[in-house]
Structure 1
């Protein structure tokens, strides 16, 4: 005799462990328990998100043998329902006119075609008030569910863990850098974990994996919804512990949290940390280009302990803030930062400086059949009160030489040279050089 059991000892989606990845998926480990008789029994689990990867579920169970597993994703949808009614009678209520009944011949997103007693009739969907049938569905499936055939030698309470992967989960890192002066700032790192699935998880243990895993297909597009802020700004201790997972890094959140459907939760990862950075104003150009523009402001951050860091920095968005002359904290820009391992550095751009202006001219240009030569002049003006550390980056392609330079330059690669200079407040400096290219 087979006994059918569907009741559970735990509530819906409680006490789960959610391991969230950067590719829009999560590994879900759901505790389950049933009381089963001796012999064969049949159990089900219905609290599954619609984004479940149907080939991933497996059941780890103590106290019984799993004979077979079935996954049912025959979820009710109006489109699927009416396609199954092809060849059967349906009723159509036009927005203008009386109800008409007939055999359903075709249905799509634009039209509905029936065989009526007066002939074949096609209706535009936007002209139909109601479309129905006399059919009745008993206990339609509104979400996917799993079922198992179990066997036990004696009556017992069996417990275990249902493990599966699902789409519609994500996490991202948000950094907030408060720049206190030209070289020092305060860095805070927070994780934003999002549940875009159709079910809620209560008292969930959250884990976050940093790194890009190999995947077979692209995840569904991500969206973010309302945010539930749980990280305290006055609590400096991190809300999670960091470990390793093979070639990846995993962050385990110290406390369990509720994560409802279409909700995001924000948790403190690091900080506030007092860090040092190098601020540089960059003017970048190519060969015969002439222009005038504000210089780009870049911050170089070295991920070392001596610099206030020496920790693994996940990729994420960095929001930058600075204090105004009146003492208020103001937003000044944002940039995307990739993964930064310990000992490495990263460079951020906060925008363009209003008071540090660059001008570039091609003073002379001579092109021959097998060569060309140009004289370049670059002028930088610092209208700020503070000194400005400036980098002039010049891209020259081909087989080239530089001569008659007014300032020592550094070759960054085969097609890039860099001039470095410091301008005091209110100072203007000019840099000259000539490049020559030859070809056969």
Structure 2
């Protein structure tokens, strides 16, 4: 934390901390003053649009108060010998501004990090927690997916019983100007809400994001599906040679929703030199050792896809 000392500081910086003076700027390397970012994402009725709100929470436990300070927040993984804390700077304001709208932040690149400059001076007292608006984005395109993740072990061993799989609910969106965003986002927690039939906002999950540059995708795992069941069953296992294995699987989606279709994406993890010998459904090779099956079941319907995968290892 770095700030320019102000005549209105109510108390000098506590003793017992390393303080160095450089052109009037004081630097405390390990200070009980920190900040964090939090976000709220409100989904629309069709789960395809959302509004995102973000704010910064300042927590001053430094033993001093700062009046009319210019606030600069530094976001990024800044390496320190001591335990790292979120960084920010406070500098004295030369004059009091006229009353204006609620303050917000302007972002700029700095070294390999990002600085968020508060639009006008602020005052924070000792032992005070203060929240300041960071961003508001409306009508952002989002995508909801139901995900069931596989394992390489499924293609290495023999399995007798069918297995139920956890179905994660994931929400993703692009942090771009075209999507009404495009601002580097500090790491923090995103909490998701959606209106119920009575118009009240209900909490539906939360996830943590890392520092996210503009034009990157944000993906949130917010919970598990209730009315959609995913199962897998091995129907054949053959060891064709010492390093050649062939396995066959059924992937089943049981949709217990009465009026809505459900698509579950099975994300399979392969290994070695692999190939799909046969499949009753479409699949996509998403990486060198990954493939994806999208299985859709109508309302109150069950749908099964069968495939055989052959794996050769060196």
TM-score of Structure 1 vs Structure 2, range by shorter chain? 0.7 to 0.9
RMSD: 2.7
Alignment of 1:319-334 (within 5 A): 319-334=191-206
Do the aligned residues in 1 keep the contact of 2:65 with 2:125 (CA within 8 Å)?
A: yes
2:144 is matched with which residue? 279
- Provide, for residues 72-101 of structure 1, a one-character-per-residue CA deviation record: whole Å limited to 9, x for no partner: xxxxxxxxxxxxxxxxxxxxxxxxxxxxxx
**In the TM superposition, what is the alpha-carbon distance from 1:248 to its structure 2 partner?**
2.2
2:27 is matched with which residue? 164
Among 190, 214, 218, the residue aligned to 1:346: 218
Q: TM-score, normalised by structure 2?
A: 0.82
Alignment of 1:74-89 (within 5 A): none
- Match of 2:294, SS? strand
Question: Are 1:395 and 2:269 matched, yes or no?
Answer: yes
Output the CA distance in 1 between the equivalents of 2:124 and 2:187.
23
Change (3 A) 1:165 1:363: same
Do the aligned residues in 2 keep the contact of 1:187 with 1:273 (CA within 8 Å)?
A: yes
1:299 is matched with which residue? 171
**In the TM superposition, what is the alpha-carbon distance from 1:165 to its structure 2 partner?**
2.4
Among 413, 418, 428, the residue aligned to 2:302: 428
Q: Which runs of 5+ in 1 are unaligned?
A: 1-25, 34-45, 61-160, 222-234
Among 9, 18, 22, the residue aligned to 1:53: 18
Q: Which runs of 5+ in 2 are unaligned?
A: 87-99
Change (3 A) 1:203 1:420: same
Of 255-264 and 335-344, the range deviating more from structure 2? 255-264
Output the CA distance in 2 between the equivalents of 1:307 and 1:387.
27
Output the CA distance in 1 between the equivalents of 2:277 and 2:22.
72
Do the aligned residues in 1 keep the contact of 2:296 with 2:303 (CA within 8 Å)?
A: no
2:43 is matched with which residue? 179
**In the TM superposition, what is the alpha-carbon distance from 1:415 to its structure 2 partner?**
1.9
**In the TM superposition, what is the alpha-carbon distance from 1:351 to its structure 2 partner?**
0.7
Output the CA distance in 2 between the equivalents of 1:50 and 1:425.
67
- Match of 1:306, SS? helix
Change (3 A) 1:270 1:332: same
Change (3 A) 1:201 1:237: closer
Of 385-394 and 345-354, the range deviating more from structure 2? 385-394
**In the TM superposition, what is the alpha-carbon distance from 1:381 to its structure 2 partner?**
2.0
**In the TM superposition, what is the alpha-carbon distance from 1:400 to its structure 2 partner?**
2.0
2:109 is matched with which residue? 244
- Provide, for residues 41-86 of structure 1, a one-character-per-residue CA deviation record: whole Å limited to 9, x for no partner: xxxxx711347334xx1153xxxxxxxxxxxxxxxxxxxxxxxxxx
Change (3 A) 1:376 1:238: farther
**In the TM superposition, what is the alpha-carbon distance from 1:299 to its structure 2 partner?**
1.0
Task: Tell me the matched-pair count.
Answer: 289
- Match of 1:199, SS? coil
2:256 is matched with which residue? 383
Alignment of 1:11-410 (within 5 A): 26-31=1-6, 47-50=12-15, 52-54=17-19, 57-60=20-23, 161-166=24-29, 167-181=31-45, 182-219=47-84, 239-286=104-151, 287-288=153-154, 290-367=162-239, 368-384=241-257, 385-410=259-284
Change (3 A) 1:381 1:308: farther
- Match of 1:271, SS? strand
Change (3 A) 1:253 1:299: same
- Match of 2:215, SS? coil
1:4 is matched with which residue? none
Which structure has the bigger radius of gyration? Answer: 1
**In the TM superposition, what is the alpha-carbon distance from 1:236 to its structure 2 partner?**
9.5
Among 403, 412, 415, the residue aligned to 2:286: 412
Change (3 A) 1:31 1:328: closer
**In the TM superposition, what is the alpha-carbon distance from 1:204 to its structure 2 partner?**
2.7
Change (3 A) 1:236 1:175: farther
